[in-house]
Chain A
Amino acid sequence: GAVVSQHPSWVICKSGTSVKIECRSLDFQATTMFWYRQFPKQSLMLMATSNEGSKATYEQGVEKDKFLINHASLTLSTLTVTSAHPEDSSFYICSVWVAGFYNEQFFGPGTRLTVL
């Protein structure tokens, strides 16, 4: 199946700094990738849809200027948390939907962000 990687797997940063998280689709070209956020003991919440070559679409309540998404190639999407604050501490997960033979969603291993 498709392999989706994320980097870094965990990051600790100071409040006010920006953090970039990479999501790579290793086996499939992905015109669309999805970013989720998961707070402790809660379910996954979709943040945004990353579209290759165009602007990302954000879910209601997600600040697009705070969570910058760039999808510059068919295998890489990046999520930048700008001016991070402790309330942004969370588990960020990306995914790729693979149609056809698989018709399933492949998730990355997640990135644990802790903002001090």
Chain B
Amino acid sequence: DAKTTQPTSMDCAEGRAANLPCNHSTISGNEYVYWYRQIHSQGPQYIIHGLKNNETNEMASLIITEDRKSSTLILPHATLRDTAVYYCIVSTLNTNAGKSTFGDGTTLTVKP
């Protein structure tokens, strides 16, 4: 799996949008971009994934650049409960997709 790079930490004001960047310059054509988050002392939670088109669900939006070398996760209205470590991962959809390589992620702190 391709490696990703993310900023170590970010702060966001409650109610504002949180934009979390991720670089994946060596991503392969069949690899998807996945985002998970981990709240302290819990298992990671799936947020969203995409291949090349922008995606949106009830939790977040995912913006992938045209060259697919980077992406941005957007939490439109951050709440205190969104404080967590956010992981950006690239992965195929085959049976080994669960063998995810987690980087250090971005620690997002949402402040009142």
A residues touching B (Cβ–Cβ < 8 Å)?
Answer: 1, 4, 6, 32-34, 36, 43-46, 49, 91, 93, 95-97, 99, 103-110, 112
Contact = CB atoms under 8 A, between A and B. Distances in A.
Contact of A108 (B32, B43, B97, B102): B43
A32 B36 CA distance: 20
Interface of B: 32, 34, 36, 38, 41-46, 49, 87, 93, 95-105
A96 to B, nearest CB: 7
Contacts of B102: 36, 43-45
A110 B43 CA distance: 6
Given A104-B46, A105-B46, A43 B97 contact: no
Contacts of B34: 104-105
13 contacts: A6-B43, A43-B103, A43-B105, A44-B44, A46-B101, A93-B43, A97-B97, A103-B32, A104-B34, A104-B49, A105-B100, A109-B42, A110-B42
